[in-house]
Amino acid sequence: MSTADVKKNADQKMQKSIETLRANLAKVRTGRAHTGILDHIMVDYYGSPTQITQVANVTLVDARTIGVQPWEKKMVGVIEKAIRESDLGFNPSTQGDLIRVPTPALTEERRKEIVKMVKGEAEDAKIAIRNIRRDANESLKKLVKDKICSEDDERRTQEEVQKLTDKFVIEVDKLISDKEKEIMTV
């Protein structure tokens, strides 16, 4: 393992942290409906937990309503129950074989709670990125100890890892500020 490997590994792990944050932010409900809200809901499909998107067509009916059309008629009740019991607080209604999921408008108080939750997600992502930096720095120290690289290489690579860390922390801040604007927009 070389200093370049340590840096590349840290970069990949930090990128994964950003992707995880993006996925978590996509689940956060804003005032508008979007199909990604239901992505993490699992339904029982012949005994195995399956994502809703694997057993139904998820579309937008209008700005505040998501339409879920199961591919099999007998899945209607199962999907409706899964949506109702999810942590999203939706109350779906069935019309024939179409499940309509209205997204209620958010109150100002609820929007502020969601912003707090989103900032918590951001802090978790920053902590993950800093932990990756710490692990990379420890790997560099071990390389110096095992005489695989020089102290100059270690210092140079530590600076590069710090620049990576700064870049990804700035990206987290940007994602969060964009999401906060989206949430607070009525």
Last residue of a domain, one of 53, 77, 102: 102
Report whether pLDDT(161) > 80.
yes
Q: Which of 152, 145, 139, 34 is nearest to 90 (CA)?
A: 34
Pair 114, 180 in one domain: yes
Work out how many domains the chain is built from and give that number: 2
**pLDDT of 75-99, one tens digit each?**
888 888 888 888 777 888 888 888 8
Last residue of a domain, one of 75, 102, 129: 102
Pair 59, 80 in one domain: yes
Pair 64, 127 in one domain: no
Q: What is the mean pLDDT of residues 118-136?
A: 92
Pair 119, 175 in one domain: yes
**pLDDT of 31-57, one tens digit each?**
667 777 777 888 888 888 888 888 889
Report whether pLDDT(164) > 80.
yes
Tell me how far apart the alpha carbons of residues 115 and 135 are, in angstroms, rounded to a whole number.
Answer: 30
Report whether pLDDT(186) > 70.
no
Q: Which of 171, 175, 136, 172 is nearest to 157 (CA)?
A: 136
Pair 91, 124 in one domain: no
Predicted confidence at residue 135, as pLDDT, reads 93
Pair 55, 8 in one domain: no
Which helix H or strand E contains 133, and what residues bound it?
helix 108-145
Pair 132, 179 in one domain: yes
Predicted confidence at residue 30, as pLDDT, reads 65
- Per-residue tokens: 152: 């100059």
Pair 86, 117 in one domain: no
Pair 83, 138 in one domain: no
Pair 94, 153 in one domain: no
120: containing domain: 3-27+107-184
* Per-residue exposure over 93-110, b if at least 16 CB sit within 10 Å of its own CB, e if not: eeeeebbebebeebeeee
Pair 149, 61 in one domain: no
CATH of the domain at 45: 3.30.1360.40
CATH of the domain at 146: 1.10.132.20
Angle between helices 151-184 and 108-145 (to 10 degrees): 170
> How many residues are listed for the chain in this entry?
186
Percent pLDDT > 70 in the chain is: 97
Last residue of a domain, one of 102, 125, 157: 102
Pair 118, 148 in one domain: yes
Report whether pLDDT(131) > 90.
yes
Predicted confidence at residue 128, as pLDDT, reads 93
